[in-house]
Structure 1
């Protein structure tokens, strides 16, 4: 895979690595901060282990429900999470992204968690899995939008962690 297709995003949280890791691996935490601000969020399935899945829906006030599913390849508490994500239907079957027919069908995500003096820096590397040429172009053209989206989501987690 071409390095240009990878997106690397880092963010530092003012919380312990254990708490930040838990925020990414428990439905009780995730339902309080994951996704775009103001969107409804519901967990359908949460099995946070290697081989497990996280299946959820999210919905903006003025739009349709979108389903997303994560399939976990590796969970190494509290250091690393590797998962493949994709848009799905309510039953969990892979479907095309509702916003772009050329969005890659599957995305591989690797998150690492490093703690230093009570702060935790996560590094997220995300890349399409076996994209077509059109999917690769769409993904590459979306790097800035992905950084903005994850940045906004991580700010939601900042706010949530400040209450813990």
Structure 2
């Protein structure tokens, strides 16, 4: 039985490192990151959905998406959060490197918000995969700003949703 608890740590004040083991072979887990129909099923926090998920999964390609709060019990009900990912490097099924941005509906990047470079590494453990996310921020202050906005809680919920999707394939 895998240990599905996410491990997180800050390294050198500017790097957020997250690790978690998923009970799915690497090739299959990687697929859940490259196809919009899968991303729409797990990439969001509790009470939020992805009504827009435009994905061009290739180096230089863009993933532009909207997370929308659909839970009437949340203070943010109806709120939309637009994001833009620009892929820098993809080595299937091992690594995805991208820049992550806050954006608007048209895809214009919000330069006032932190925009880390993220490296996702998929480590082959046979029938399981260790996922390691390493986000590099331009400063310790930028990292702290997103942590203060609830980034760690949001990623934990998102990775829990990924785990639930993985288990649904069993």
TM-score, length of structure 1 as denominator length? 0.84
Q: Kindly tell me the number of residue pairs found equivalent between the two proteins.
A: 152
**Is 1:117 paired with 2:116?**
no
Aligned-partner Cα distance in 1 for 2:80–2:151: 20
Report the counterpart of residue 149 of structure 1 in structure 2: 154
The Cα offsets for residues 57-96 of structure 1, whole Å up to 9 and x where unpaired, read as 0111314211101000001100000000111111100126
Q: Which moved more, 1:2-11 or 1:73-82?
A: 2-11
The Cα offsets for residues 9-46 of structure 1, whole Å up to 9 and x where unpaired, read as 00110001011111011101100010102212123421
Describe the SS at the equivalent of 1:30: helix
Aligned-partner Cα distance in 2 for 1:70–1:31: 15
**Is 1:87 paired with 2:121?**
no
Aligned-partner Cα distance in 2 for 1:91–1:20: 30
Contact 2:56 2:62 in 1 (8 A): yes
Aligned-partner Cα distance in 1 for 2:53–2:124: 31
Aligned with residue 141 of structure 2, among 134, 137, 140: 137
Aligned-partner Cα distance in 2 for 1:117–1:81: 20
Aligned-partner Cα distance in 1 for 2:67–2:158: 13
Contact 2:87 2:98 in 1 (8 A): yes
TM-score, length of structure 2 as denominator length? 0.81
Contact 1:36 1:149 in 2 (8 A): yes
Q: CA RMSD in A?
A: 1.9
Aligned-partner Cα distance in 1 for 2:162–2:82: 21
Q: Which runs of 5+ in 2 are unaligned?
A: 1-10, 71-76
Describe the SS at the equivalent of 2:106: coil
Q: Which runs of 5+ in 1 are unaligned?
A: none
